[in-house]
Every structure is written in structure tokens, then in C-alpha cells.
Amino acid sequence: MKGDRTIHPRVLDYAYTGTDVLYKEFHISQQGYSDEQVEDSHGQYGKNILSGRASDTVLYRLRRAFINPFSIILFVLAAISLVTDVFLASNFSRNFTTVTLIVSMLLISGVVRFIQELRAKRVADHLTKMIASNVLVLRNGQWLRLPSTQLVVGDTVRLVAGDRVPADLRLTDVKDLFVSQSVLTGESTILEKHAKTLSQGTARSYAEYSNLAFMGSSVIGGTGEGVVLAVGPDTVYGGFSSSETSRNNRFDRGANSIARVLIHFMVALVPVVFIACGATKGNWLSAFLFALSVAVGLTPELLPMVINACLAKGSSAMGKKQTVVKNINAMQGFGSMDVLCVDKTGTLTGDRIALEYYMDVLGNESQQVLDFAYLNSLYHTGVRNHLDDAILTCRNMPGHGDHFQALEAEYRKLDEFPFDYDRKLSSILVKQGEKKLLLVKGSIDAVCSRCSHVEYRGQRSVMATDGLASVHAIVDEMLEDGMKVLAIAYKPLGHESLETVDEQGLILLGYLAFFDAPKHTAAAAIQALQDHHVGIRVLTGDQKSVAVSICRRLGVDATETLTGAELEELGDNELPIKIERTTVFAELSPKQKVQIVQTLQTNGHTVGFLGDGMNDLPAIVESDVGISVDTAADAVKEGADVILLKKDLNVLEAGIQEGRKAFSNVSKYIKITASSNFGNIFSIVIASVFLPFFPMTSVQLLLLNLLYDMLCLVLPWDNVDQEACAQPLEWSGRTLGRFMRFFGPISSIFDLLTFAFLFFVLCPTVCHGSFASLAGSEEQLRFIALFQTGWFLESMWTQVLILHLLRTKKVPLLQSRPSRPVMLVTTLGILFFTILTFTPMGHLIGLTALPIPYFIFLVVVVLLYLLLVTWAKSFYIKKYRELL
């Protein structure tokens, strides 16, 4: 990949230009930019906001609320009705009712959705501010810590280990600065940066631009300063981001799957309705209008709003449980997550590592080993880790403060190679008087493989060919006890800058042993997750023996383990099988963690990843639900979907429960509403063939659908059975079609029974004659109004009551009670729609008052319908072992 294809020309120009020219042309003083210069730069070069967040404006939310496939259908219906009922109609027959109702539905639906969108935007903006990365910026002569979004071209920024590069920079001053550009290139190579001017034509890839730091790169070690040359979409990272915004995530794929099922039903039914109505009624324009209303009636118009409401309710509940949900769609991931990958440190263990032993090569306590380890940790400018912190706390031991203070004064740092996950060691070059020593600290195997000699009590000897076996004879027992062991080595050097070859031919001096006790809550939390059918996979960079020891203490099955080296040896066919069966992965690189996550996803799992280290960032980004903690590096927090304010698996278990509750309530709405709508449309298809008029006007059908959907907005607050949350839930339309085909036609049976009662009994009795005998009279219009009102009420009663019946596998109201809001809203809804038929508003849309005998019939039909659905529900559960 050629780097200069996406690097902004301005950034390229100054890579080959001296910093003095840069300062002069951008008018940068030693005081940094002034407030006036910041405003000018904002106007000229734009803000440091990527296209995704920049486009998230109120106007964008307004457009998304009102413009969607279903509102477009409603708009087309309104336009056609305006032409046929107003422009082409005579003055006497001109009627604005249909147009007014459809436009009202458009406005109500859009406004309700827009209010929800604004709430979601406020939450998103608030959370973005909470977790936005901050950066040190020189403004008005002071170093200020500001949000990265406030950076402008020309700003001077300072970088330290653990930072994420906030924009594309031309480096002006560095000290042992090492960065990882894996977010841009996918490669885990650690690159050293400098501030020198490049020669023309020497750089062709991102890695070769050694005096540039690109947005999104992670600072692994050292410090540096640079001038911002590109912000937002002008950055390399911004170019990638904007090009990938169309890539669907798992949530989008699930939503599209559901939409496809609904569209398939629509495509199959709408032409049938159009042909049947047109052929039997002779009015093809009315048939077309009615077929369009069927298309809308079949689809839950407020589906996006109900989904948003359920997810927002879940994320709000999680917010009360020490969890910040950055990406609201991550709630769906929580609901369907069946594999959780965790790192070991701080998740399973207490995250308070203590240095237990510092010893020579035979296991005796050695002050020299501790001194060299202390100097290595003290001068290491890479990302701080718990092991370095544990070593440095030794200076706080009683009576040791003066010793370590003198050590710092005696040894001066010259150069370093910071730790990276390929070498698995860190190297510091120090100077003591005229003597120069390379001090190396790292994993047992990585350090010992570079050693040619061993030193014991001042005596140096050549390391035997089986030296590694001798080392493990000393350290294996500690590893089996769950301790983490590092090796310490050194090497005298004659020069003051490091080269790669210097890390060979080392002298092994001794070992450090650390202990990280398992959390007392971890075992119970892991058992709770397993009870909820979430498989735990431990992915760690620690030694295999340490990881296995910790996992066994916590009850995690460690019979199947894999190391990074063993993973590399697996073939393409063997890899997915082995990863599926393995629970503990040790000695992994960041790239291998990503590989495991991807393989689990390919195997059909919804994968969450919980981590806080820079080595976890690629896997967090790759997972379906990336989870981090508030103490993690800024780069890690930015990449995560969810931030835990407390690093505890119990918090996560609560999040999974909330995700499944939100998921279950969304499924209730989609499946019950779609199946009920399908039953209504199926009834219309049959009735349209035999009835001499439409069983319901297009306006009545749309109103019925919209008002029922609005009642369903209370579903996010419904209770959910514990059994419904016991298993991960699948977010797709795979079973939606089956559910609609099974339960939809059941309602059609009672619709047809109602049709027969209305057409042959009630309407002829009230109107004093059959429909045919009333031809051309006002009574015939009354006949139609009675019929349409009767079916309107029967449809509404059955739709609302079936919501209670199918919301649970149990007996509704007795074994599983809905929440009070659901009970109240559905009861009031039935009363409202029934009373509507007696009001002038009802008369405007063709509804009329019905006699008492109809309501007696309605109660009997509804009870029979509920009994049949109860039996059908039991049969469905026995056959398919699920309901929603």
C-alpha cells in the first residue's frame, strides 16, 4: 500500500521541509497559537472531527426521522390522494380527510421519532465528551490539556506513551518516540520516529514517513512534540473512516435481515390485493391506493423508533450500574453475545500485582537483580504496565528510599528500545561513570534465547546448550503457582546508542517473580456468565502456566489451552476447530488476539472482548462488543463500545441481562406486530374477492396500524421473563417469516367469522336489508360504515390482547405479569379506540356507532381467539422450542 495516496499534500510537503520553514509559514511562535490564530485556522482548515461525528447534526437527525422507506410510501399515498380526492374531484365531492390524516400520521410519526433521535444525540454527545481523548496543546504560552476535537492546523502538541495521535503531525522534537500504526496498516510493527527532514523520494509507505505521526496511531514509548498539519477528514485515518462508514455491522445486518422478510411478504401480497380488488370492484385507482395502504399496513412503521427506545432504555439502565454505553447499538450485541473474551490481568485477578521475589539464577535473593530491574522500569518510556509499577514501589520499602535515590543519581539513561509484543522485552542503555550497560527485562523465553552467558555471584560462565531447560527447572514451580516470572539480563557496551544486534549475546543475571491474586468475586461472576450461556475465553500475553493456574482456581476449564507459538503452527482447516474447543489462550500477540476473535465470529459466535491494555485495542475494535474500563488508555477507550466504570465481571453480567431484556422487547414488537398485520392483510385478500366493497378504507387501515404502533412504544418498559434472558438471542429475520405464517392466519379465521357475522347478520338487521337490496340508497353507505367499523374494532381488540398472550411463554397475567405501564396503556388504548367510533372524529374517517349486540359478539369472538392462540402457542413452543 502506497502511503502518499491518502496523505494530504500539505502534510507531504512539510515532511520534506525543515521545521524552521514550517514555523515561519504557519506563523507559529514559541508561545504556540493565540486564540485569534485558532479561530482563523478553524475557518480555513476545518475542525478535527471525523465525518461520522461531523455529520451527526440536528438536521441529519431530522432527515433520518422523516425520510425512510415507510414514510416515503405514506407521502406517495398522500400525494395520490391529494390529486384524486381534491384536484380531480368536483366541488361537491372534494374531501381533504384522507390527505389530512396521512399527513398527520407522517408528522406524528416523524416528530415522535425526531424527539427520540434528539435524546439519543444528546446522550451520544455527552458520552463522547466523557470519553474523548485529551491532548497537551501549547496555546498562549501555556501547555493545556484540551479535547482532541479542539485541535486546529498549526497547533503544537505533545505526545507521551499511551496517547493516541490526535491528528496528522509533523514531528518537531522527539525523545525515544516509538509508535504503532496498526490502526492504519494492520501490522503490529513498532516504529521509531524522529524530527529530521526527509530527502525527496525516500518515503513510499506509511512506515517510511519517519518524521510524521498519523492520526489514530498509538504512542508505545518515549515523548515527542509536533505541529498539526491535517485534521478531521483530511487526515489519513479520516480518509479511511469516511470510506468505511457504509460497512454494515452485525446490528445493521440483523435489521436488514428483518426488513428483507417484511419486503418479501409485501412483494407477495400487494400485487394480489391490487389484482383482487381491481378485478372485483372495477376501480383500479382505488385498488392501487388500497394496495399501497396494505404495503404500509403490513410493516411496523415505528419499528426504528421502538428499536431505539428499547436500546436507549437498556443503555440507560446500564448507566445506573456503573457502565457507559457509547454506541447504543452495542445493546444488541450484549443481547446476542455468546462468547466473552477477557484478558487475565485485572479482570480475573485483582490488578494489584506485587513483586514477591528478586533472585539470582539459582533462586537466591539478589539485590543486583532488583537494582537492574528498577533502572529498567524507571527509564522505560513505553506504556506503563502493572509490572513496572510493582518494581518501582520497592523504593517505598522502609530503609530503601536512599538506596534507590542514589542509584538514580549514579546511572544515567542514554538510549532505549521500548517493550513491544513481538520481542517481549524492553532494553535500556545506561551509563555509570565511563561504563555503559544494556539492561534487559522481559519474558523468560524471550530473554534467555538471547543470552550466551550466565552470571552467578560475580562469576560468569557460558550458557549450556540446554540452558533454557535449566532455567525452567528453577522457575516452573513458581509459574505453576500462578506467579508471573520475568528474566533480567545485562550486557556491557562500548557505544552510546542502541542497535538491534545489541540485544544478542546477553548475560543472564536472575529473575523477578510477581503474584497477582485472583479476585474473590471472579469465580462467582464467571459461573453466572456460564449460567447465562456465555462462554468465557481467556486471551492473555502471560505464560501458559500462569494463565492455567489462575483459571483453575476460578473454575474455568483449562484442559484445552493454546499458546501463540502453537497457534502459528495450525493449518487453515485445523484452526477454526481448535479455537472453538480451546478456552485458555496464552503468550499471545495483539495480532493473534484479533485472529482468535475473527475465527470465533466466522464460527457463528457473537463475540465480546473485555480489555484495557494497548495490546487489547485491535481485538476490542474487531469484536462485536468492545468493552474497556475508565482507567484504560485514551486510545483503548475510544475504540470500545462500552466503558465499565468498575472492572468487574459482575457489572458485565448485569449488562448482558439488560441487553437481553431490550432485545426481547424488540422481538416482541417485531414478531407480534408483523404476524398480526400479516393476518389482517391475509383476511383482506380473501375478503376483497367476495365483498362488493373494501373491508376497510386505506385511511382506516393506516390509522389502525399507526395507533397500534404508538401503543407499542410502551414495550421498552415491559417486564421480561427470566427464561427469556437465559439464552443469547439471535438478531435476525430467520424465524420471523415462520412466526408470521404460523400465527397470522389464526387471526384471519376470526376475521372471516367477523366478516360473515357483519355482512350476513348485523349489518342487514340494522339497515333493514342485504347489501344488494340496498343498492343506491343512503342505507348502503351505512351498511359499509357499520361493516368497516366492526372489523376496525375487532382488529384492534385482537391485536392489543394478543400482545399480552404472545409476550411470554407462560400463562399471561397469572404466571407472567406485564409491567404497569404496559397494562395501563393497552387498557386505555382499547377504551380509546372503542370510544372513537362514537365521536365526530371517528365519523370523519368513516367509522360509526355500533349496537350492543355487536359488542357481545366481539367479546365471544375475542375469547375464542385467545383460547385458540393459547393452544397454538403451546404447540409452537413444543415444535420449535422457542417463542419469540
Catalytic (active-site) positions: 343
Q: How far apart are CA 163 and CA 165, in angstroms?
A: 6
Residue 10 half-sphere exposure toward CB, CA atoms < 13 A: 16
Candidates 382, 447, 392, 428; CA nearest to 615 is: 382
**What is the C-alpha R_g of the chain?**
35
Q: How far apart are CA 119 and CA 521, in angstroms?
A: 36
Q: How far apart are CA 451 and CA 261, in angstroms?
A: 64
In angstroms, the Cα distances linking 447 to 1, 176, 533 are: 34, 22, 41
Checking phi first, is residue 555 left (phi over 0); if not, alpha (psi -120 to 50) or beta? Answer: left
In angstroms, the Cα distances linking 341 to 7, 396, 526, 542, 561 are: 35, 36, 12, 15, 14
- According to DSSP, residue 722 is labeled G
Q: How far apart are CA 599 and CA 341, in angstroms?
A: 12
DSSP structure string for 790-814: HHHHHHHHHHHHHHHHHS-SS-BTT
The residue written with cell numbers 376470526 in the block is: 750
Report strand pairing: 625-629 vs 607-610.
parallel
The 3-state secondary structure of 19-45 reads HHHHHHHCCCECCEECHHHHHHHHHHH
Candidates 77, 443, 81, 72; CA nearest to 292 is: 77
Q: Which stretches of 56-214 are DSSP H helices?
A: 58-66, 69-82, 97-131, 182-185
Q: Which cell goes with 800?
A: 392489543
Q: How far apart are CA 695 and CA 35, in angstroms?
A: 69
Q: How far apart are CA 193 and CA 510, in angstroms?
A: 33
* Amino acid in position 553: R
Contacts of 356 (CB under 8 A, 6+ apart): 483, 513, 514, 515
CA torsion sign, 11 to 13 to 19 to 24?
A: negative
Helix (H, G, I), strand (E, B) or coil at 558: coil
- Spell 48-83 as b/e; 16+ CB within 10 A means b: bbbeebbebeeeebeeebbebebbebbeebbebbbe
Helix (H, G, I), strand (E, B) or coil at 487: strand
Candidates 570, 494, 812; CA nearest to 668 is: 812
Q: What is the dihedral of CA 489, 492, 493, 499, to 10 degrees?
A: -10
Q: Which cell goes with 512?
A: 523477578
Q: Which cell goes with 654?
A: 448485569
Checking phi first, is residue 605 left (phi over 0); if not, alpha (psi -120 to 50) or beta? Answer: beta
- According to DSSP, residue 501 is labeled G
Q: How far apart are CA 677 and CA 429, in angstroms?
A: 74
Candidates 808, 837, 803, 806; CA nearest to 823 is: 803
Q: How far apart are CA 144 and CA 157, in angstroms?
A: 9
Report strand pairing: 535-539 vs 483-493.
unpaired
